[in-house]
Amino acid sequence: MFRGFSFVPPDTKIDFVGLRTITWIVSALLTVVPLILVATVGLNFGIDFQGGTLIEIQTKESPANLSDIRSKMSGLGLGEVQIQEFGAPNAILIRIAAQPTEQQQQASIAKVKQALGDTVEYRRVEIVGPTVSSELIASGTIAVVVAMLGILIYVWFRFEWQFAVAAIASLIHDVTGTIGLYSALQLEFNLSSIAAILTIIGYSLNDKVVIFDRVRENLRKYKRMPLVELLDLSINETLSRTVLTHVTTFLAMMPFLIVGGEAIFGFALAMCWGIVIGAYSSIFVASPLQLILGVKRDAFSPSAVPAKGRGAAPARI
């Protein structure tokens, strides 16, 4: 009988925790270097966060002549103007930096329409003011913080505080690494970037919970096994699921990265990077942190689990 293909051999015994001295150095760099990049280089904030005007047009010719459009925009004296394809070869997105006053903001739109004339179709015009952009920055930050607090409470109640702290530490590692990618490559950081970070947090947490659940089961099962061996055993037992899930998700994101266009390139690249760094942190950050935090076996012993009646089996969560 055909039982399927095993992506990772069932008898795999890789000493992941034994590499913790090296991986902790790598993890520290992936956490500290992005913070340095953000402090020195900064983030390339999009109009969502810095304010400005967004104009979506569709040209009659396909593909659009981007060099001609750029030459027309360069002589208008509007400051920074970004021009990029948006989904289709004849769909163009024009981003104009925020102007000092509302009147100048409206005048910049009129200048663009006058320069392009009737050769294009105007599909969308949006103005984001500085007040709105600052509110979006605050809302995005609050969204990430609330997600982290919710995860901390969830993991704490489902497992123990050691697992909760390890999960948050590894997720901070994932978030800073992703923000560092935006800073290093100067990708546009906008609301879709916040969506990518929140998606990475949720996806990475799911993988960590699977490993934590196996660690908890093995803590109940192997009373005398050293914690280093038990963590390695738990990681190896879930390795097939971890690798297969991350690889298939990564392959699903590749078309968006390759042919999705500039409009979603930053989001797709962040997601691909987040899939990789999330798998890394689940194996090399969240699990080895249990050695430092000191997981107590007594917390997962059958006697520590309330029974519904005499002789009742330990409850499974």
Spell out the SS3 assignment of the chain.
CCCCCCCCCCCCCCCCHHHHHHHHHHHHHHHHHHHHHHHHCCCEECHHHHCEEEEEEEECCCCCCHHHHHHHHHCCCCCCEEEEEECEEEEEEEEEECCCCHHHHHHHHHHHHHHHHHHEEEEEEEEECHHHHHHHHHHHHHHHHHHHHHHHHHHHHHCCHHHHHHHHHHHHHHHHHHHHHHHHHCCEECHHHHHHHHHHHHHHHHHHHHHHHHHHHHHHHCCCCCHHHHHHHHHHHCHHHHHHHHHHHHHHHHHHHHHCCCCCHHHHHHHHHHHHHHHHHHHHHHCCHHHHHCCCHHHHCHHHCCCCCCCCCCCCC
67 domain-assigned: yes
Confidence band for 317, pLDDT divided at 50, 70 and 90: very low
How high is the mean pLDDT of the chain? Answer: 79
Q: How many CA within 13 A on the CB side of residue 317? A: 17
The reply to whether 250 and 143 lie within a common domain is yes
Q: Give the residue-averaged pLDDT of 120-127.
A: 81
The reply to whether 215 and 145 lie within a common domain is yes
Among 1-5, 49-53, 102-106, 139-143, which stretch is predicted with the lowest mean pLDDT? 1-5
Question: pLDDT (tens digit, 9 = 90+) per residue, 4-20?
Answer: 556 666 677 778 888 88
Domain boundary among 128, 145, 171: 128
Are the C-beta atoms of residues 166 and 289 closer than 8 Å to each other? yes
The reply to whether 121 and 144 lie within a common domain is no
Is 50 exceeded by the pLDDT of residue 103? yes
Q: Residue 91: give the domain boundaries.
A: 52-128
9 domain-assigned: no
Question: pLDDT (tens digit, 9 = 90+) per residue, 36-93?
Answer: 998 998 888 777 777 778 888 888 777 777 788 888 877 777 777 778 777 677 788 8
268 domain-assigned: yes
Is 70 exceeded by the pLDDT of residue 133? no
The reply to whether 267 and 120 lie within a common domain is no
Domain boundary among 76, 98, 128: 128
Is 60 exceeded by the pLDDT of residue 311? no
- AA letter at 298: D
Is 60 exceeded by the pLDDT of residue 225? yes
Q: Give the residue-averaged pLDDT of 183-198.
A: 85
93: CATH: 3.30.70.3400
Count: domains in the chain? 2
87 domain-assigned: yes
The reply to whether 218 and 69 lie within a common domain is no
169 domain-assigned: yes
The reply to whether 261 and 143 lie within a common domain is yes
10 domain-assigned: no
Q: Nearest-CA neighbor of 237 among 213, 205, 203?
A: 213
> What predicted TM-score, i.e. pTM, was given to this entire model?
0.73
The reply to whether 200 and 86 lie within a common domain is no
95 domain-assigned: yes
Q: Is 183 exposed, middle or buried (0-12, 13-18, 19+ CB in 10 A)?
A: buried
The reply to whether 268 and 179 lie within a common domain is yes
Confidence (pLDDT) at 306: 43
The reply to whether 92 and 230 lie within a common domain is no
Choice between 297 and 254, residue whose per-residue pLDDT is larger: 254
Confidence (pLDDT) at 314: 41
Confidence band for 235, pLDDT divided at 50, 70 and 90: confident
Confidence (pLDDT) at 33: 92
Q: Give the residue-averaged pLDDT of 291-301.
A: 67
The reply to whether 88 and 38 lie within a common domain is no
Q: Nearest-CA neighbor of 264 among 46, 37, 97?
A: 46
Is 70 exceeded by the pLDDT of residue 174? yes
